[in-house]
Amino acid sequence: MAPEISNLSMFLLIFFVLIPVSLSYIYSLGLSRSIAWSSFRGVVQLFIIGYVLTYLFSLPPLIGISLMLFVMVTVATFHASKKGEGIPFLRPVIFSVIVGVQLLILAMWLGFDMINFEPDQVIPMSGMVIGNSMIAIGLALERMKSEFKEAKGKIVAALSLGAKPEQASTILIRRIVKAAMIPNVDGLKTIGLVQLPGMMTGLILGGVAPIEAIRYQIVISLSIFASVSLAAMLVTVIFYRFFFNKNQQMVTIGEK
């Protein structure tokens, strides 16, 4: 059983924050204020969500789960959309993609009898899926804007030779999706060897048998990998079309 963390120990966590803040100051990265604010905001959010989850777990499963998933998807949508500013229909599409991916994964969990439809199981696992999907979508959007900007000349040349937008963008689409998937691919390669997954470690600390904890970790790890792959592919395939107008000419995002 893990020891109880005292209030003093929690306060001393400030030294963990001072390390990246100091490095940012020494190397003039300009991230000191952002690091401090993000750390404070994260701590406050975690305390708040702790009380919120306690309340949601007391509600009927359908209500509690639906409310929390809606909040998660909405926040993830707004955060991911920051990476693709200027792209038309950005937030509605991202919201739809995350909802679709989450519902698919949830249906597989329930259909394959991997978890029960209970808030204490669905919400934490869904949070990991939604969070990683958000990161993948953000990476894909950021990479998409940079790739199309850098390759504008080549794309225009291909279009002038008679290529269609999808043909001129094929290589870029592959690069974008690959870039969004790489972090999870590398994570899966070293899981259990370099890093001990948080879910498995938490379950073991909570008294769950190691073999059972490993099974849950395998479920969530592969679920995250599937959701990241699908989310990155969908947003890329949907949004690359907005870099071309109705006349199949390349346009700068933001222009009407």
CA distances from 119 to 53, 116, 240 (A): 9, 9, 37
Query: What residue segments make up the domains of the chain, in order of their start?
Result: 1-56, 60-243
Cβ–Cβ under 8 Å, residues 94 and 81: yes
Which residues on adjacent β-strands are paired with residue 191?
A: 195
pLDDT band per the 50, 70, 90 thresholds, residue 2 = low
Report pLDDT digits (tens) over 118-176. 998 999 899 999 999 999 999 999 999 999 999 999 999 999 999 999 999 999 999 99
Report pLDDT digits (tens) over 233-247. 999 999 999 999 888
What's 118's DSSP letter? -
Query: In terms of Cα–Cα distance, which of 130, 142, 57, 132 is closest to 95?
Result: 130
Cβ–Cβ under 8 Å, residues 216 and 203: yes
Cβ–Cβ under 8 Å, residues 195 and 139: no
What's the CA gap between 143 and 153, in Å, rounded? 17
What's the CA gap between 42 and 37, in Å, rounded? 8
Q: What is the mean pLDDT of residues 14-38?
A: 91
Report pLDDT digits (tens) over 78-96. 999 999 988 999 999 999 9
Phi–psi pair at 250, nearest 5 degrees: -75, 140
Q: What is the pTM of this model?
A: 0.83
Q: What is the mean pLDDT of residues 64-89?
A: 94
